[in-house]
Amino acid sequence: MARRDIEFDAEGVTLRGWFYDGEGASGPAPTVVMAHGFSAVKEMYLDSFAEAFAAAGLNVLVFDNRNFGASDGEPRQEIDPWEQVRDYRHAITYATTLDEVDPTRIGIWGSSYSGGHVLVVGAIDRRVKAVVAQVPLVSGSANIGELVRADFRAGFREMFDADRAARFAGDPPAMVPVVDEDPLAPSALPTPDSWTWFTETGKDRAPSWRNEVTLRTVEMLGEYEPGTYIGRISPTPLLMVVARQDHLTPAHLAIGAFENAREPKRLVILPGGHFDAYVEGFDGASVPARDWFVEHLGG
């Protein structure tokens, strides 16, 4: 399968990734733009999804989020969700300059945190003709409410305020682990399955992944409400893939948001938890996504 390294300018920051040629495509073809979720880099199974889509005749543009992996950007390891939303749009713009790409047939795919981003991009960017949101974050505040004990939240707020004062004084940003073996220890994603997936996947597939994000990343997570955009995606087709036992981006939150989406839309509920979509449940997650893009973009 033909894959090449790419890089493009995102208003002053160079983003890097891969471009896959759709198999059997002659002339400009439909193209899926995709990036990973919270702190993850493209080597953490995005190649698997891209290969599945490319085998169906779809071009795929995969990129690392700014401040992560192969992409430039400072401060390193900081996730600003709105910058990541804009970077999807920069990636779409770059894709439309390529001879292999039909600019009238662009789809977007996101998972977990970026599953929230594609809800926003699908609502505000009409170049997008199909959206797939896998195990998406739909509400930062509700998600933190599910994951962080109420008596811990005041401590986080004090840390955010202290970090803001320190940065103002010129200090480097405070950092926090993405995951910790102890789910009660301070971390951005305090669930046992998060610890297992990130540490094992990072070791096996993605040595560039680092187990830290800026503390402000967690503050911005709590401010981000992508689900409020979901009613505006229509008439662009939306597929949402939810894991029944997902407690990291809880299934009931995603399904509640899906109820507010308008047609055309489809909901697929997978067995298992948040991370199963990448490994054991890969076919269950990738096949409906592939078919959705082929149906609505052509392949």
Instruction: Please give the share of the chain, as a percent, with pLDDT higher than 70.
Output: 100
Phi/psi class of residue 7: alpha, beta or left (left: φ > 0; alpha: ψ in -120 to 50)? beta
Residue 235 burial class via C-beta count within 10 angstroms: exposed 0-12, middle 13-18, buried 19 and up:
exposed
Class of domain 3-139+225-297 (CATH, top level): alpha beta
* Of 110-114, 181-185, 209-213, 269-273, the least confident: 181-185
pLDDT in tens, 236-269: 999 999 999 999 999 999 999 999 999 999 999 9
- Closest by alpha carbon to 133, among 142, 143, 120? 120
**CA pair distance 254, 75, nearest whole angstrom:** 30
* Structure confidence at residue 139 (pLDDT): 98
pLDDT at 151 over 90: no
Q: One-letter amino acid identity for 134?
A: Q
pTM of the model: 0.97
pLDDT in tens, 55-98: 999 999 999 999 999 999 999 999 999 999 999 999 999 999 99
Read off the pLDDT of each residue in 115-127 and give the average, rounded to a whole number: 98
**CA pair distance 219, 38, nearest whole angstrom:** 13
* Structure confidence at residue 280 (pLDDT): 94
pLDDT at 154 over 90: no
- Closest by alpha carbon to 249, among 156, 135, 171, 169? 135
- Closest by alpha carbon to 67, among 78, 59, 54, 80? 78
What band does 156 get if pLDDT is binned at 50, 70 and 90?
confident
Buried b (16+ CB within 10 A) or exposed e, 198-223: beebbeeebeebbbbbbbbbbbbbbe
Structure tokens at 79: 């996730």
**CA pair distance 225, 211, nearest whole angstrom:** 25
* Of 149-153, 194-198, 250-254, the least confident: 149-153
The domain ranges of the chain are 3-139+225-297
pLDDT at 205 over 80: yes
pLDDT in tens, 2-48: 999 999 999 999 999 999 999 999 899 999 999 999 999 999 999 99
**CA pair distance 289, 241, nearest whole angstrom:** 8
